[in-house]
Structure 1
Amino acid sequence: MFAALPYPQLAACRRLFLRNYEVRINIGVHEFEKRGEQRVVINVELFVPLALSTPVEDQLSEVVDYDFMRSTIARRVAQGHIHLQETLCDDLVKTMLAHPQVRAARVSTEKPDVYPDCDGVGVEVFRLKED
C-alpha cells in the first residue's frame, strides 16, 4: 500500500485502485517477444481530492469511475506493440493524470512469465500533478 505521508497534497484524497488487472499484450524488445502476446499484470492507484469525489447523491457521476482505469489501459494496449514496460507505465500514468479530478497516479506493470525463478519483473511509476 502507498503511504501518502511524504506528500501532504494527498492527505485529503481518496485512493482508488485497480489491482492485478491481467492483460495479454505485445510487449518486449527481443525477437521472440515480438511474435506473440505476453501476460502482463497492471496495478493502478489514483488519488482524487475528497472535495471532488465525495458523493452527495450517491451517483456515479460524482466520482471517478473505475472503468476509466480499465478503458485507459485497453486503449493504450490496442495501439500495438510496446517495447518497454517503462513506456507502457509512462503512457498510462500520463493519461491517468490528464483526468481533471486526479491529483496523483501510480502505475505498475509486471511480466510474471519472464523468469522461472521469480514471481515477475516489472516497473512502477508515481507522478503528482503539477499545480
Structure 2
Amino acid sequence: MAEFTTILDGLEVMMRLGIHPHEVAPQRVVVSVEMTVVYPGPLGDDAIEEVLDYDFVRAGILAMVAERPFALQETLCEAIAALCLSDERVRRVEIETMKTDVYPDAAIGCRIVRERQI
C-alpha cells in the first residue's frame, strides 16, 4: 500500500458566504484542502491514471460555490469534504476556509477533519 498527501492550497474564490446583511454580496474566501490518498501499491508509471487527479477537487469547489450561497463556513467545509471523500482512495481530508475581508485586522475561518468510515 502507498499513502500520499495531496494538497490544494490557497484556492481563492468569490462566493456568497455568511449570515450578515453585508455578506449578501460575494466575498473572497480562501480554501485549502489536504487529502490522505491511499493506493494499492507503489506507483510504477509516471501517469495520471495511477493517481487521484486533483483537478476534480478544484473544479468541484468552483462549481459548488458558483451554484449556491452558503450561510456557514462549517456547511461549506462539510460539502467540500463530501466531494473529496467521493473518491474511494481518499481516506482522510482536512478542509480549511478563510473569509479574508470580514475584519480589517484578521481573517476568520473554519477547519474540519473527516475520515472515511471503514
Question: Common fold, TM-score beyond 0.5?
Answer: yes
Distance 1:73 1:113 in 2: 20
Counterpart residue number, 1:16:
6
Pairwise CA distance, 1:75: 2.2
Distance 1:50 1:39 in 2: 35
- Sequence identity of aligned pairs in percent? 37
Greater Cα offset, 100-109 or 73-82:
73-82
Distance 1:124 1:13 in 2: 22
Distance 2:50 2:43 in 1: 5
Aligned counterpart in structure 2 of residue 25 of structure 1, from 12, 15, 23? 15
Distance 1:50 1:71 in 2: 22
**Larger relative contact order (C-alpha < 8 A, sep ≥ 6)?**
2
Looking at secondary structure, tell me which structure has more strand per residue: 2
Counterpart residue number, 1:39:
28
Structure 1: give runs of 5+ residues left out of the alignment: 1-11
TM-score (norm 2): 0.92
Counterpart residue number, 1:69:
57
Write the letter of the residue equivalent to 1:43.
S
Contact 2:31/2:95 (CA < 8 Å) preserved in 1? yes
Counterpart residue number, 1:79:
67
Counterpart residue number, 2:76:
88
Alignment pair present for 1:122 and 2:112: no
Write the letter of the residue equivalent to 1:64.
L
Give runs of ≥4 in structure 1 deviating > 2 Å: none
Counterpart residue number, 1:109:
97
For residues 60-103 of structure 1, what are the alpha-carbon distances to aligned partners after superposition, in whole Å with 9 as ceiling and x for unaligned?
A: 01000120220120121122111111110011101211211111
Pairwise CA distance, 1:121: 0.4
SS at match of 1:103: strand
TM-score (norm 1): 0.84
Structure 2: give runs of 5+ residues left out of the alignment: none
Size of the alignment, in residue pairs? Answer: 118
